[in-house]
């Protein structure tokens, strides 16, 4: 996995969007996102066949733009659809339980401190997501925001390991996160709620 993949990492589920989510994804891809995470969870999230169909539609769109398609939490779906990767958090399946079946796939793990980071690397993570950096309205069960302090501390000890920052990141603060050592920014609302997705992504690209 190349670190550049993490530069503009768009994370989305249908309940994050105010218009057709596939249209949102298409605009984001067209504008130059570098990675996409399918995160269909929470209130009003699709289930069953509609959930799988939506994942598969997102995957096809990503493939058309040659952008990696990562699935959040649902390892079984990632294996079934042969997604490019899987993202898991501290409360999800441990990497050791699916590493073998997921050979060749990109594995991302959420970390909050140096201890989590060591564990994630030992378990075989390809990249880590650190956050929430800033206050977020999107993830109700998120830990308290840390600002860029935790990110800086972790980056100092892990010089080259691929890190993406997440939580409350916008066009206005992306530069701070980048200077604190993140290889890229992961965003939900900054893109989903933008009325000018093209401009938003272009501004983020310039910053990151």
Ligand X SMILES: Cc1ncsc1CCOP(=O)(O)O
Ligand Y SMILES: Cc1ncc(COP(=O)(O)OP(=O)(O)O)c(N)n1
Q: Which of 21, 129, 168, 181 binds ligand Y (CB under 6 A)?
A: 129
Pairing of strands 85-88, 163-166: unpaired
Structure tokens at 152: 């800086």
Could you say whether residue 187 binds ligand X (CB under 6 A)?
yes
User: Binding residues for ligand Y, how many (CB under 6 A)?
Assistant: 17
- DSSP label at residue 161: S
Q: Name, in order, each residue with C-beta under 8 angstroms of 189's C-beta and a sequence gap of 6 or more.
A: 16, 136, 137, 138
| Stretch in the footprint of ligand X (CB under 6 A) among 25-33, 47-55, 148-156, 184-192 | 184-192
Please, which of residues 136-165 interact with ligand X by CB under 6 A? 136, 138-139, 142
- Residue 38 contact, options ligand Y, ligand X, Mg ion, none, Cβ 5-8 Å cut-off depending on partner type: none
Listed residue (107, 153, 156, 148) closest to 131, CA to CA: 148
| Cβ atoms 198, 20 nearer than 8 A | no
**Signed CA dihedral, 119, 123, 128, 134: sign only:** negative
Active site residues: 39, 110, 139
Residues that bind ligand X (CB under 6 A): 11, 131-132, 136, 138-139, 142, 166-169, 187-190
Residues that bind ligand Y (CB under 6 A): 9, 11, 37, 39, 72-73, 87, 89, 92, 108, 110, 129, 131, 139, 164, 166, 186
Binding residue ranges:
37-41, 72-73, 92, 110, 136-139, 168, 188-189
């Amino acid at each position: 996995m190349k670190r550049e993949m993490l530069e503009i990492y768009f994370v989305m589920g249908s309940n994050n969007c105010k218009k057709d989510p596939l249209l949102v994804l298409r605009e984001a891809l067209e504008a130059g996102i570098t990675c996409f995470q399918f995160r269909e969870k929470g209130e009003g999230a699709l289930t069953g066949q509609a959930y799988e169909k939506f994942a598969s539609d997102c995957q096809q769109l990503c493939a058309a733009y040659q952008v990696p398609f990562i699935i959040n939490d649902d390892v079984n779906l990632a294996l079934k659809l042969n997604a490019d990767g899987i993202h898991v958090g501290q409360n999800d399946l441990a990497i050791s339980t699916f590493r073998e079946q997921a050979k060749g796939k990109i594995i991302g793990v959420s970390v909050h401190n140096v201890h989590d980071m060591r564990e994630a690397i030992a378990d075989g993570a390809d990249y880590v997501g650190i956050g929430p950096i800033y206050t977020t309205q999107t993830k109700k069960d998120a830990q308290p925001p840390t600002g860029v302090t935790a990110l800086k501390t972790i980056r100092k000890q892990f010089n080259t390991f691929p890190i993406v920052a997440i939580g409350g990141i916008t066009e206005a603060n992306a530069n701070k996160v980048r200077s604190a050592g993140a290889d890229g920014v992961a965003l939900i609302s900054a893109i989903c709620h933008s009325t000018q997705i093209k401009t938003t992504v272009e501004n983020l690209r310039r910053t990151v």
